[in-house]
Amino acid sequence: MADSKILIIDDEWESAIVKAVQRRLEEEGWRTVIVEPQSRWLVGDEFEAAAIYVIEAERPDGVLLDVRLGEHRDDQFKGLEILRYIVEHYPTLPVLMFTQYAQGPARDTAVRGALRWNAPVDYIDKLASPEEVVLRLRRLIGAAPELIPVGAHLLVDVGAETVSARPERNADLRPVDDIHGMKFEIFRELAAAWYRSPGELVPFSRLERYSEGEEARASLRVRIREIKVSIGKSLGINLGANDLIINVRDRGYRLVPPQM
Amino acid sequence: MIIPNFRPRLRAGLPWNRRQSWLPPTWAAPVAGLTRRLGGLLLAAGLVGLLLAPLLGEALFPRLWSIEPLTYIGAALLILGLVVHGAAHLTQEALRRGEAAAVEDRRIAERWTRLTQQYFELFNHDLGRPLRRILGKEREIRELLQDTDAAIPPSVRELLDEIEEQTPSFRLMMSNIQVLIELETPNTGATLHAVEPAEVVRRIVDRYSLVAADAQKQIAWWSEPTEFGIVYCDSSAIEHIVTNLVDNTVRYAGSYVEIGLTRDEDNFYIRVGDDGPGIANRYLPFLFDRGWTPEVARREERTSSGLGLFIAHTLAKRYGGDLTVTSVAAPDPEHHTAFLVTLPLRPKQ
């Protein structure tokens, strides 16, 4: 996911709220491009022209798009016109509508008027936290990253098939011993689910693919325990039943980043 | 303890919604029309009978009390015809007035709805802007503090967290007001489209995970089957229902909130549960009443509007489903609360 480019189209691009989102996107490893109309008159048409130009020139991987671009009544839904253009010309380009009108009739109007049924378009409230915006964009853009940070202390390198840990916030990352092969696959599966949607449980059926023998569930349980012991050792902490990888009602496991 | 009953208020609603129940059934107007025609026929038959009586009466029947019986028959038909025709006419007039009143009610209601929505949008926009500014500044302060090497004092962090935590409540409040306006709008039909309930739940968990984490609580969710697929419903309605339930459970949970998504042949189910202190049995019948909160029953200061569960329940019913609650209250060691939303897979349009 690193090097993905996110285009931000918002008439309040200088506001602290957009800046906070921009900072969080950059922390995520995404590059951000902000549409800034040249004219000092902030009207919808200026935005529309500038946005279309930047989309053509920059070819972003995702767009964060405001609905209301300007104070004039005609600009109230100008963002939807840009959305319509994107859906028509770049049907696979993910668009996250960043708007105060994320619910209710305005959204329904947009869904009916501007979208194809399978367009990768979603809506989020302008008051959403930057974290929420990032989570939504992660799912919209879809591709799993090569590096999955699990909180501040763990990092999963999918390409190198390693899990690294740092016992303290500013310490260097060190590879965790003993998490290879199937144990790595189990942890990668849990980390990928957590990355897309924190709190989402990974069912046993998906994890048991990485277990052997007739007693797949028991084997999985053993591997999970071994993963926790290895990571706990690297972090210098003891990970109990309700830490890191938690069994939810015997349905599956979910990942919780270690709190230190 | 006397618990106030909010049901009469809940059922009353706005005047036009109340008056709808007084409208006559759809068959009333055609029946009144037919009855009036029948009255006219009886009237005409009576008149014919009276006119023919002097000519034909004696030839057909022997006299009765010095008058030929055809006169009696004609007179009776005439009176009956007048009564039936008159009654039908009065009924038709009443129906016409009722219909005109209903049309007027609807016109007023639509105007009210339009105006309310306009005011709401204005209010939402104007209130949203300063709020976004406050939030933006709060996030900027947090960023600045992180950039300095000095440790952030816990009291400052708490203040910043407090501002951030109020945001989901505000977002929910605004969307609840919007839903209330829609619910009070006459004849707004349910709109159905393809919805992925797992994605709706995922979004809500995104929103509440941070709030829950700040309060040292966790949210877990699962779906069975894992690839839950698509249902036909209104995504906004599902979102409103589940958001209100999650907001409630995150507030009252001890340390854990769980959301489960399942389906069978006819329905899909969303279960939202928490490990909080539970709800006393005596409060359960009032839980979905508009404006009811436990504080109201205890005559304490309210900490919420009491609209969330009412809206969730009303929306579930509106889409042909239901919302139920089971709860075990502390000191029982198994204390918990679980809300179950049931919605049809193939709702009637």
CA distance readout (Å), A244 to A144, A194, B307: 21, 11, 37
The pLDDT of residue B1: 39
Residues of B in contact with A248 (CB under 8 A): 220, 222, 258
The pLDDT of residue B187: 61
Number of other CB atoms surrounding residue B321 within 10 Å? 22
- Strands A31-34 and A252-255, by their bridges, are unpaired
CA angle B165, B169, B172 (to 5 degrees): 145
Query: Which of A56, A77, A79, A61 is CA-nearest to residue A10?
Result: A79
Residue of chain A with shortest Cα separation from B165: A129
Interface with chain B: mutation pick from A26, A99, A121, A125, highest number of B CBs within 10 Å = A125
Question: Do residues B180 and B307 lie in contact, with contact meaning Cβ atoms separated by under 8 Å?
Answer: yes
Tell me which of 2.60.40.350, 3.90.1300.10, 1.10.10.10, 2.60.40.1220 is the CATH number of domain A147-255: 1.10.10.10
Rg (Cα) of chain B, in Å, rounded?
32
The pLDDT of residue B4: 40
The two tokens of residue A14 are 């200088």
Higher pLDDT, B263 or A152: B263
Query: Which of B112, B122, B100, B101 is CA-nearest to residue B14?
Result: B112
The pLDDT of residue B11: 40
Question: Do residues A143 and A196 lie in contact, with contact meaning Cβ atoms separated by under 8 Å?
Answer: no
Fold of B191-349: Heat Shock Protein 90 (3.30.565)
- What is the DSSP secondary structure assignment for residue B24, as one 8-state letter? P
Tell which B residues from 79 to 138 touch A, by Cβ distance under 8 Å.
117, 124-125, 128, 131-133, 135-137
Q: State the complex-level ipTM.
A: 0.85
What average pLDDT does range B62-86 have in this prediction?
83
Question: Do residues A59 and A33 lie in contact, with contact meaning Cβ atoms separated by under 8 Å?
Answer: no
What average pLDDT does range B55-79 have in this prediction?
77
What average pLDDT does range B148-156 have in this prediction?
80
**How far is it, in rounded angstroms, from Cα B288 to Cα B308?**
9
The pLDDT of residue A162: 92
Q: Which residues of A touch B (CB under 8 A)?
A: 12, 15-20, 23, 68, 100, 103-105, 107-108, 111, 117, 125-132, 135-136, 139, 197-201, 203, 205-206, 246, 248-249, 251-252, 254, 256
Q: Do B239 and A16 touch (CB under 8 A)?
A: no
Q: Of B125, B182, B236, which is closest to A100 when you measure between CB atoms? A: B125
CA angle B201, B204, B205 (to 5 degrees): 85
The pLDDT of residue B6: 38
B324 close contact with A: CB closer than 8 A: no
Place domain A5-141 in its CATH homologous superfamily: Response regulator (3.40.50.2300)
The two tokens of residue A148 are 């999955």
Q: Of B167, B202, B226, which is closest to A127 when you measure between CB atoms? A: B167
Higher pLDDT, A185 or B69: A185
The pLDDT of residue B336: 93
Question: What are the extents of the domains in chain B?
Answer: 11-113, 191-349
The two tokens of residue B148 are 């300095």
The pLDDT of residue B214: 82
Q: Where are the alpha helices (DSSP H) in chain B?
A: 7-12, 15-19, 28-60, 69-147, 154-184, 197-214, 235-252, 294-297, 308-318
Residues of B in contact with A104 (CB under 8 A): 175, 178, 182, 236
Concatenated DSSP letters of B122-165: HHHHHHHHHHHHHHHHHHHHHHHHHHSSSPPPHHHHHHHHHHHH
Q: Do B224 and A251 touch (CB under 8 A)?
A: yes
Q: Do A199 and B220 touch (CB under 8 A)?
A: yes
Residue of chain A with shortest Cα separation from B204: A132
Q: Of B124, B133, B207, which is closest to A132 when you measure between CB atoms? A: B207
Rounded to a whole number of angstroms, the distance from the CA of A72 to the nearest CA of chain B is 13
Question: What are the extents of the domains in chain A?
Answer: 5-141, 147-255
B264 close contact with A: CB closer than 8 A: no
Instruction: For chain A, give the secondary structure using H, E and C.
Output: CCCCEEEEECCCCCCHHHHHHHHHHHHCCCEEEECCCCCCCCCHHHHHHHHHHHHHHHCCCEEEECCCCCCCHHHCCHHHHHHHHHHHHCCCCCEEEEECCCCCHHHHHHHHHHCCCCCCEEEEECCCCHHHHHHHHHHHHCCCCCEEEECCCEEEECCCCEEEECCCCCCCCEECCCCCHHHHHHHHHHHHHHHHCCCECEEHHHHHHHCCCCCHHHHHHHHHHHHHHHHHHHHCCCCCCCCCEEEECCCEEEECCCCC
Rounded to a whole number of angstroms, the distance from the CA of A103 to the nearest CA of chain B is 7
Interface with chain B: mutation pick from A122, A197, A259, highest number of B CBs within 10 Å = A197
Return phi, psi of residue B42, to 5°.
-60, -40
Its sign, for the CA torsion B210, B211, B214, B220, is negative
Q: Is the pLDDT of residue B3 over 50?
A: no
Query: Which of A186, A191, A200 is CA-nearest to residue A155?
Result: A191
Q: Of A103, A132, A198, which is closest to B178 when you measure between CB atoms? A: A103
Least confident of B72-86, B200-214, B300-314: B300-314
CA A218 from centre of chain:
33
Q: Is the pLDDT of residue B324 over 90?
A: yes
**How far is it, in rounded angstroms, from Cα A107 to Cα A99?**
10
What average pLDDT does range B130-148 have in this prediction?
85
Q: What is the pLDDT of residues B166-203, one digit of tens each?
A: 888 888 888 888 888 878 776 666 677 788 899 999 99
The DSSP element (H or E) to which B328 belongs, if any, is strand B322-328
Which are the contacts of B245, defined by CB distance < 8 A and separation ≥ 6? B270, B272, B308, B309, B312, B339, B341
pLDDT tens string, chain A, 260 residues long: the values are: 557 899 999 888 788 889 999 999 998 889 999 987 666 555 677 778 888 888 999 899 999 998 877 767 777 778 888 888 898 899 889 999 888 765 555 555 555 555 666 778 888 888 888 999 999 999 998 877 888 988 889 999 999 999 999 988 778 889 998 888 999 999 999 999 999 898 899 999 889 888 777 788 888 999 999 999 999 999 988 888 888 999 987 889 999 998 77
Average pLDDT, chain B: 83
Using the structure block, give the residue that is written with the tokens 């979910």.
A254
What 3-state class would DSSP assign to B25? coil
CA angle A81, A82, A87 (to 5 degrees): 95
Q: Do B132 and A246 touch (CB under 8 A)?
A: no
Q: Do B258 and A252 touch (CB under 8 A)?
A: no
Q: Is the pLDDT of residue B10 over 60?
A: no
Its sign, for the CA torsion B110, B111, B117, B120, is negative
Number of other CB atoms surrounding residue A176 within 10 Å? 24
pLDDT band at B9 (very low <50, low <70, confident <90, very high): very low
Q: Do B133 and A16 touch (CB under 8 A)?
A: yes
Query: Which of A14, A115, A128, A249 is CA-nearest to residue B243?
Result: A128
Interface with chain A: mutation pick from B126, B201, B206, highest number of A CBs within 10 Å = B206
Q: Do B206 and A198 touch (CB under 8 A)?
A: yes
Rounded to a whole number of angstroms, the distance from the CA of A28 to the nearest CA of chain B is 15
Rg (Cα) of chain A, in Å, rounded?
22
